[in-house]
Amino acid sequence: MSVLLRCCVFLCLCGSGLGEMDTCSEVHKVFQLRQIGPNQVLPSSPRSGADLQVCTSKSSTCCTKKMEEKYQVAARRDIQNLLQTYSSRLKLLLSRYVAAFQETFEVLMRQAENHTNVVLQVSYQKIADPAAGSVRELFTDVGLFLLGSELNVDEFVQRFFDALLPLVYNHYISPGVGDTSPGYAECVRSLNRVIKPFGTVPDLFADQIATSGVSGKLLLQALHLGIEVINTTDHLQMSRECRRALLKMQYCPHCQGITHSKPCMGYCLNVMRGCLASMAEIDAHWREFVRSLEGLSARMHGAQDLEQVLLGAHTMLHDAIGHAEKNGPRLSAQVQKLCSTSIRRPAQSVSIQDANSRVSIPLKALNRRSDDSLSVMRKDFLKTLRTFSTFYGGLADQMCLQGLSSGDGLPCWNGTYIVKSYTRRVVGNGVRAQSTNPEVKVKGEDPVINQIIDKLKHINQLLQGKTIPKLGSLDQIETGSGDSEGHYSGDCDDEDGCAGSGGGEINRKVSKMSPDVTSDYKHHHYHHPPAKDSEIDGKSHSLRLTGAIWVLVLPCFHMILDL
């Protein structure tokens, strides 16, 4: 029975092309229904097709040259619409999670700032209000850094502790002496990076922000690049050979009055694999892109866990102030020696009870919904993204399977006639496989696709920790700018020594962006080792200079710090 049904369908399809050729009414109806072009280009009856370039036929035709041009535009538009429809879920996934991650970063900034202020209010109430502005500035800088600004993490963290030192010194190191003049406060502020009152906490905190922050930045940059890849392939310009092949596959049968046929599966695969040959070259790099994102996510724990670092900032602050208090006598002696020429105004009255009224109260951990955490969001995102890892490798096949071609065993269009099956060779995916494609001539790789592949290669190396980003390179990935050689080659691996290039100033900034690639970033010149007690004591005699000499030396000291 099924065989008889197929024969009937076959005869009907063939007959539709023969029986309607006297009026072309069915062709007119479909032409108008699909809004392919104006009615003026339609012939009133079948005519000779001598002027047609693609939809040639030995018999009469229902097409004019103008119709053929309109059909070619329609065929290209149909495929681009199908491409965009097919990629819309992947694009929506990336766009939604870019927005979600950015929003989560902003929420984390606010939570970390609020929790830090709570710690100051509870344990260090006297400096809570004066320090609030510096706390806000610190987490604003962290947020800008995460969202792509080229800020120096060391600098804005040290700037925060610079501002914190006079407050801590006046209230908890040397309380009771009273208010200070602006000059004295500035002198104390300038000593932060020399006498290291907060121990190694500022350096450790800066390293943790840089380490976890570069992972967060890379995650966002990678998702933005993923969207760029999709936008590029959605609007890819098709070659002349491809446009003609699409016209022949989709609308040339209409010229023969065959308006309800679909191309054979093998025929469709040859045409689509030829048209999307360059796009198929993205496949290996897109698969690696998904794997690299999974690897980055797996490394984002401990020091690379941005959420843990930010929400633990209050603990770092508590430890820093505690270290300063523990070493109060030594710090007080150093400050008095180095800032002795500044004038301090004596306090009107000091309450011993007030000076010691600070109480350290343990705080409860910040309550967060588990499904809102960055780690859970990353896992959910990657679980869905993994289903799209073969997106570009099977794109042509999926488009043919999901509606472009006829079903198995049904009569179909082979580019010339309605047949039972397609008998020509079916080629594989990719540019090299198209050398024997009988339907589409592929001249070579698409330069636009090659550019996007270079970007994927580069971001993959960054995600895998194989390459240290050059100054501004994260922005270059998104905008497409490259070095003087052209595009990113992506040929740097672990043994090439790429991580060691560049000057000292850039290396310091680079290491803060990719701390998992280099292990010596803590020892660059921005980090000053804390002064040892023995060194301070050994220099105590030389530091006992007269007030007149210090008046001359102190301005020079400030100039050196500014440098």
pLDDT grade, residue 348 (50/70/90)? very low
Same domain, 145 and 255: yes
Q: What per-residue confidence (pLDDT) applies to 429?
A: 95
Domain assignment present for 53 = yes
**Are 384 and 257 in contact, with CB atoms under 8 Å apart?**
no
Does the structure show a pLDDT above 90 at 292? yes
Distance, CA of 395 to chain centre: 24
pLDDT grade, residue 410 (50/70/90)? confident
Q: What per-residue confidence (pLDDT) applies to 264?
A: 94
Same domain, 35 and 157: no
Q: How many other CB atoms are there within 10 angstroms of residue 91's CB atom?
A: 16
The predicted-structure confidence for 33-79, as pLDDT tens digits, reads as follows 999 988 888 888 899 888 899 999 888 999 999 999 999 999 999 99
Does the structure show a pLDDT above 60 at 239? yes
Does the structure show a pLDDT above 80 at 412? yes
Query: Among 40, 58, 75, where does a domain finish?
Result: 75
Q: What per-residue confidence (pLDDT) applies to 526?
A: 33
Q: What per-residue confidence (pLDDT) applies to 494?
A: 40
Mean pLDDT to the nearest integer, 537-557: 39
Q: What per-residue confidence (pLDDT) applies to 446?
A: 94
Rounded Cα gap, residues 155 and 268, in angstroms: 60
Total domains in the chain come to 2
Same domain, 58 and 126: no
Q: Where does residue 357 fall: left (phi above 0), alpha (psi -120 to 50 degrees), or beta otherwise?
A: alpha
Q: Which residues contact 27 (CB under 8 A, 6 or more apart)?
A: 20, 42, 62, 63, 254, 255, 257, 259
Whether this model's pTM surpasses 0.85: no
Comparison of pLDDT for 526 and 222, the residue scoring more? 222
Same domain, 50 and 86: no
The predicted-structure confidence for 500-511, as pLDDT tens digits, reads as follows 333 333 333 333
Rounded Cα gap, residues 4 and 459, in angstroms: 57
Does the structure show a pLDDT above 50 at 372? yes
Comparison of pLDDT for 556 and 89, the residue scoring more? 89
Q: CA distances (Å), 334 to each of 198, 364, 410, 531, in order?
A: 14, 36, 92, 11
Q: What per-residue confidence (pLDDT) applies to 467?
A: 62
Q: What per-residue confidence (pLDDT) applies to 180?
A: 59
Lookup result for tokens 């009133």? 44
Comparison of pLDDT for 496 and 107, the residue scoring more? 107
Same domain, 35 and 125: no
Q: Which residues contact 86 (CB under 8 A, 6 or more apart)?
A: 395, 398, 399, 402
Mean pLDDT to the nearest integer, 253-269: 93
Q: For the chain, how long is the longest CA-to-CA vector?
A: 115
Q: What per-residue confidence (pLDDT) applies to 492?
A: 38
Domain assignment present for 496 = no
| Lowest mean per-residue pLDDT among 85-99, 150-164, 294-308 | 294-308
Does the structure show a pLDDT above 60 at 521? no
Q: What per-residue confidence (pLDDT) applies to 336?
A: 87
Domain assignment present for 481 = no
Q: What per-residue confidence (pLDDT) applies to 176?
A: 63
Same domain, 29 and 45: yes
Same domain, 67 and 111: no
Mean pLDDT to the nearest integer, 224-249: 95
DSSP line for 425-474: PPP-SSSGGGGG-SS----S--HHHHHHHHHHHHHHHHHTT-SPPPTTHH
| Lowest mean per-residue pLDDT among 282-291, 465-474, 542-551 | 542-551
- On average, the pLDDT of the chain sits at 78
The predicted-structure confidence for 132-189, as pLDDT tens digits, reads as follows 999 999 999 999 998 888 899 999 999 999 999 999 998 998 886 544 577 888 999 9
Domain assignment present for 183 = yes
Domain that holds residue 293: 76-340+375-433
Does the structure show a pLDDT above 90 at 392? yes
Same domain, 334 and 220: yes
Q: What per-residue confidence (pLDDT) applies to 382?
A: 95
Domain assignment present for 442 = no
Same domain, 197 and 219: yes
Mean pLDDT to the nearest integer, 415-432: 94
Query: Among 390, 414, 433, where does a domain finish?
Result: 433
Same domain, 111 and 216: yes
Same domain, 114 and 68: no
Spell out the long-range contacts of 110-116 with Cβ–Cβ below 8 A and sequence spacing 24 or more. Answer: 110/139, 111/310, 111/311, 111/366, 111/368, 112/139, 112/142, 112/310, 112/311, 112/313, 112/314, 113/138, 113/139, 115/311, 115/313, 115/314, 115/363, 115/366, 116/313, 116/314, 116/317
Domain assignment present for 516 = no
Q: Which helix (H) or strand (E) holds 251?
A: none
Rounded Cα gap, residues 112 and 114, in angstroms: 6
Same domain, 212 and 318: yes
Comparison of pLDDT for 295 and 473, the residue scoring more? 295
Q: Which helix (H) or strand (E) holds 418?
A: strand 418-419
* Burial bucket for residue 287 (CB in 10 Å: 0-12, 13-18, 19+): middle
Does the structure show a pLDDT above 90 at 495? no
Q: Give the rounded percent of residues in the chain with a pLDDT score beyond 70.
A: 72
Domain assignment present for 34 = yes
Rounded Cα gap, residues 89 and 352, in angstroms: 67
Domain assignment present for 444 = no
Q: Give the rounded percent of residues in the chain with a pLDDT score beyond 90.
A: 55
Query: Among 75, 91, 111, where does a domain finish?
Result: 75
Mean pLDDT to the nearest integer, 460-468: 84
